[in-house]
Copies of this chain bind each other. A is one copy, B any other.
Amino acid sequence: MKKNALYAQSGGVTSVINSSAYGVIKSVMETNEINELFIGKNGLNGVFEKKFFKLSEMDIKQIELLPFTPASAFGSCRKKIKKDEELKKLFNVFQELNIKYFFYNGGNDSMDTANKVNDYAIKNGYDLVVIGIPKTVDNDLFGTDHTPGYGSAAKFLSVSMYEGLLDVRSMAKDSTKVFVLETMGRHAGWLTAAASLCSLNSKISPKVILLPEVAFDKQKFLSLVEESVMKDGFCGISVSEGIKDDKGAFLSDLGYLDNFGNKQLGNVGNFISGMVFKELNIKVHTAIPDYLQRSGRHISSKADVEEAIMVGKKAVEFALKGLSGFMVTIDRLLSKNYEVEYKMIELSNVANHTKYLPKEFIGDNNMSVNENFYKYASPLINGEFYPKYKNGIPIYSFFNY
């Protein structure tokens, strides 16, 4: 009897994670070696609760919309597997459903989980093929040139920064002169850096990039802002939600913003703008796109969507070769034009590493990025791939879960 496969999404979503699902689904449809594809509702939660979509019962029209649909079409999870008994429960379900292939689509934590599942299978002699499919807007996954989801979030942020800069430039003569854009990315500055990519096709760019890799230097920051306002009349700032002081404490944890007792990241944009207003007496506007940057499918990069589909397809291709315990990677070729190859890395090598923005990409003043970063990131935001619209609103796939 032919075996079945299981696919689940995990962690914070992106605007192209469903493109990877689409790649998996299409490849499973094409092969004769897999009988049924189960998709977990709310990721691994669906496995524990035996709540699944079955490919054989899914609406093909909704499937064809997946590459145009942001967030998790089937629900995601923040599930961490901590105990062996949880793994045992998981494998009971695998056995019951005759699962041989397990595709797990996520970031760092998820690759750790996939690795644990793979180890458990080996230890207990269960014939399972585990393949990780990379996903994260943060671009902090180890072992791959970049991660699907990053390019689209980067495009959202660079276009947003461009439009925000045009706005503040318009107002700067007798009103607001500083525009702050807060980005996600936690400990890694890839998204924060991405806001500067507007300069690939504009005469204006953000003059201050506050990266989490660099300890925040208040005096230097204020000088740079003042200088930029003096010179250009206005100043754009891209700030990471995860910037820290020289003792490694999050700036948003310094007691300035915890009105509600909750020390969550984010809102550091208002901390920064408050500082500029208070110390320089300059009017500031602050945008905090939050979820919008990672689910903004309406402005996704074509390159990103296509690669997200490919990592899904490659996951199935590699799995059918019987290779287990790997994550699909995107390798950039050393060619003149941008070209990639899809390879693999052992899950144990990926799990729980963080890939930071390298020093070679950071500008001399530590509050900017340089040509090396532009060269790296520009192909990733290339091309547009619009959803269709009805009544002025995008047509996105919708599954009940």
Contacts and interface: CB of A to CB of B under 8 A. Distances in A.
Interface of A: 9, 12-13, 15, 42-43, 45, 69-72, 75-79, 155, 158-160, 162-164, 166-171, 173-175, 179, 197-198, 200-203, 256-257, 259-262, 266-267, 269-271, 274-275, 277-278, 285-292, 294-299, 301, 378, 381-384, 386, 389-396, 398
A290 B285 contact: yes
Contact of A76 (B69, B171, B179, B390): B171
Number of copies: 2
**Which residue, A168, A256, A260, A384, has most C-beta atoms of chain B within 10 A?**
A260
A164 B298 CA distance: 12
A99 to B, nearest CB: 21
A378 B394 contact: no
Nearest to A382: B392
6 contacts: A70-B166, A72-B171, A75-B170, A78-B174, A166-B295, A292-B292
Given A13-B167, A166-B71, A173 B396 contact: no
B290 A290 contact: no
Q: Is the interface of A mostly helix, strand, loop or mixed?
A: mixed
Contact of A70 (B79, B163, B274, B290): B163
B42 A174 contact: yes
Nearest to A162: B393
B285 A291 contact: yes
A389 B202 CA distance: 11
Interface pairs A-B: 6 shortest CB-CB: A260-B274, A72-B170, A381-B392, A201-B393, A71-B166, A42-B173
Contacts of A259: 256-257, 259, 271, 274
Contacts of A298: 159, 163, 299
A169 to B, nearest CB: 7
Contact of A378 (B257, B392, B396): B392
Contacts of A396: 162, 166, 202
A155 B294 CA distance: 18
A79 B278 contact: no
A197 B389 CA distance: 13
A163 B260 contact: no
A166 B76 CA distance: 11
Contacts of A155: 392
Contacts of A158: 392-393
Contacts of A202: 393, 396, 398
Contacts of A278: 260-262
A259 B173 CA distance: 27
Given A167-B295, A259-B271, A266-B285, 20 more contacts: A45-B174, A69-B166, A77-B173, A155-B392, A159-B298, A160-B296, A162-B394, A166-B295, A197-B393, A200-B390, A200-B391, A201-B395, A202-B393, A260-B275, A287-B288, A287-B289, A287-B290, A299-B299, A382-B391, A383-B389
